[in-house]
Amino acid sequence: MDRFVTIIIPAHNQAAYSRQCVASVRRHTAPPYKLLLVDSGSTDGVGDFFDSVPGAEVIHLAENRGFARAVNAGLERAEGHAVLLHTDTIVPPEWLDRLLAVLERLPEAGLAGPRSNYAASPQGVEGVDFRGVASFHGFAQRIAREWDGEARFVNRLGSFCLLIREETWRALGPLDEDFSPGLFDDDDYCRRAVNANHRLAMAEDVFVFHFGCRTFLGMGITGRDWDELAEANRRRFEQKWRTQTQSRPEALMKVLELTKAAAAAHERGGVPQAVQLLHAAAKLCPFHEKTFNDLGVICRELGDILRAFHYLTRAVRLNPSCEEARDNLRGVAEAAGRQQEAEAIIEEADAALELG
């Protein structure tokens, strides 16, 4: 489809994720497209980084008023089709070409989205357990080969990576900012699209890596605060549409509860319980680097240096930007006399990230 596209990436802090995301877009997206970066009052250098991206158009908002407000600011300057992309995503080669092909094959589709490791049904892929960014690329390539050209209509698409046909976003107007800072704003937008006869399609052959909820974590919206926000916006959605819906507990938020409980158990001296809780967290969401970092720290304290090295290696490979995991891996490597191996692992992870 030879149609211009505007890629809108909103951010509030989380500079390391912003760099990863933008790098993957610039490396794996064929022109023509406009990269529109929206900084919502960041204080950690996101704004300066956005200003440094060659060819990007940057919007600086004075304060953080949530995802919907940032997206709407971007849509005001969008041209052609629009892509909404969270900063904690990494896109693979041909991601946009394949999403655009869905709109071309299915003219009744107004929105298209990919599959992912961290997404609600139907976009989430079950049983994915790759070891890091490098493995993600291989997995994404396999998905592209095995599902080449396949797409299906669905009832919901998440906003972590969402292509919106130009006619659709112009007809629907802005996202509903009453759902700020986030949660259920994408459900609301999808409901509005369906009601206006713009169908939702999922590209079976596109797989986008999603760390998940990192802006919320950076804002300190976890635990009870997360539950209260999710419940409030769920009720807002139900009242608006006069419908019943289920709560959507995010796996990562449950993982955070488990890791917090593990830390408390560890402090009390309950090391076996802490390890059990962390293993449960790793099984629930195998893409949260802190889980494996914490397992590595405990293993080192127990004198199990080899297992500590294994867990910390996985943490670094999952997120090379995690300074805590990098420092801990170097510390364990020094104790084990494996400094060169550790530096090679860190360099490999950085190189894989650059491929992103």
DSSP per residue, 37-54: EEEES-SSSHHHHHHHST
**Residue-wise pLDDT tens digits, 28-60:** 998 899 999 999 999 999 999 999 999 999 999
Least confident of 1-10, 24-33, 268-277: 1-10
Torsions phi, psi of 114, nearest 5?
-95, -175
Distance CA 198, CA 190 (A): 9
Q: In this predicted model, what pLDDT tens digit does every residue of 145-164 receive, in sequence order?
A: 999 999 999 999 999 999 99
Q: Helix or strand or coil: residue 67?
A: helix
Range 260-267 average pLDDT = 90
Per-residue pLDDT at 355 exceeds 60? no
Distances (CA, A) of 171 to 196, 198, 289, 327: 9, 10, 41, 50
Are the C-beta atoms of residues 120 and 162 closer than 8 Å to each other?
Answer: no
Residue with tokens 């449950």: 254
| pTM, rounded to two decimals | 0.85
The pLDDT assigned to 253 comes to 75
Query: Phi-psi category of 76—alpha, beta or left, where left has phi over 0 and alpha has psi -120 to 50?
Result: alpha
Mean pLDDT across 318-322: 83
Confidence of residue 206 (pLDDT cuts 50, 70, 90): very high
Average pLDDT, the chain: 90
Beta strands in 33-76 (DSSP E): 33-40, 57-61
* Structure confidence at residue 106 as a pLDDT band (50, 70, 90): very high
Lowest-pLDDT range of 113-117, 275-279, 347-351? 347-351
- Residue 121: what pLDDT? 83
Catalogue all structural domains in the chain, each as residue range(s) with its CATH number: 5-241 (3.90.550.10), 251-355 (1.25.40.10)
> What is the pLDDT confidence band of residue 274, given thresholds at 50, 70 and 90?
very high
Q: How sure is the predictor about 110, in pLDDT bands with cuts at 50, 70 and 90?
A: very high
The pLDDT, as a whole number, for residue 215 is: 80
pLDDT of residue 248: 60
